Structure 1
């Protein structure tokens, strides 16, 4: 791993310890599909090594890669908001080592310890904003009119 994830770096030490107590080490082989758009968002991951492609289902086309995540990055934020469904799909590009978190247990901890919950949600909101901006830019790359094209 290139260093602690921004999520872990931004959490106070006591909150970081609480969160990591819920983590389990998980490895995925290259090509493994972690989740598909619309599926149950019942966990999330912090990537320690390897890369994961986030893709978007487009009917009649191969799913375009929206963003590639690597060491230190958080995979998954759909677990935060009901109805807890993935907004994108994710596939390992190579062997990936992660810390995996059970979303229900993390949400339970957030409710029981509101200061922890606030800090974690603040950090996750930054991931959501970053991911939405990356998606917007990638969709513009894919679908914006080209110079000299129709329009």
Structure 2
């Protein structure tokens, strides 16, 4: 994809509305667009962390493996959602979930190492990106907490335990 098209795509993403033209250009330099057919795995739990993805169209399932439960869908990412955000956290070295295209999807792929460098070199850009990531993480944690509570409730009902 041409840089001009990437810039136009980046300018349509609300995440980047506060960025200056040169910051958008820098993001375009480290970005690409990929198309995934339904059923395509984007990344798998345990994989090395590499890229950050923004869903442009389609739906992506986000799954984790829970002992005694198997694979559990914890989220469905839709247009403008971000997956692979853990690349921007220094502690995480491998994927903590698996993702699969539920529908044919188009993703903006940001090279994670290059994005980290951009954020370090341009503190304003880094602040904007990390503020957005913090919101994603907080939202994901709430969703996962609710799902885990539901799984615990289901387990207690299956075993005949009562809850207070």
Q: TM-score, normalised by structure 2?
A: 0.79
1:130 aligns with 2:139: yes
1:111 aligns with 2:129: no
Find the aligned partners of 1:129 and 1:20 in 2 and give their Cα distance: 27
- Range 13-22 or range 110-119, more displaced: 13-22
1:71 aligns with 2:95: no
Find the aligned partners of 1:5 and 1:140 in 2 and give their Cα distance: 33
- 3-state DSSP class of the match of 1:56? strand
| Count of residue correspondences | 149
* Partner of residue 80, structure 1: 88
Unaligned runs of 5+ in 1: none
- Range 139-148 or range 114-123, more displaced: 139-148
1:92 aligns with 2:98: no
Aligned ranges for residues 1-151 of structure 1 at < 5 Å? 4-9=12-17, 11-14=18-21, 15-82=23-90, 83-144=92-153, 145-146=156-157, 149-151=160-162
Q: TM-score, normalised by structure 1?
A: 0.85
- 3-state DSSP class of the match of 1:90? strand
- 3-state DSSP class of the match of 1:47? strand
Which is helix-richer, 1 or 2? Answer: 2
Q: Provide, for residues 117-139 of structure 1, a one-character-per-residue CA deviation record: whole Å limited to 9, x for no partner.
A: 12111111111111111111112
Answer with 1 or 2: which has the greater Rg.
Answer: 2
- 3-state DSSP class of the match of 1:141? helix
Given that residues 31 and 92 in structure 1 are in contact (C-alpha distance below 8 angstroms), is that contact kept between their aligned partners in structure 2? yes
Please tell me the root mean square deviation across aligned C-alpha atoms, in Å: 2.5
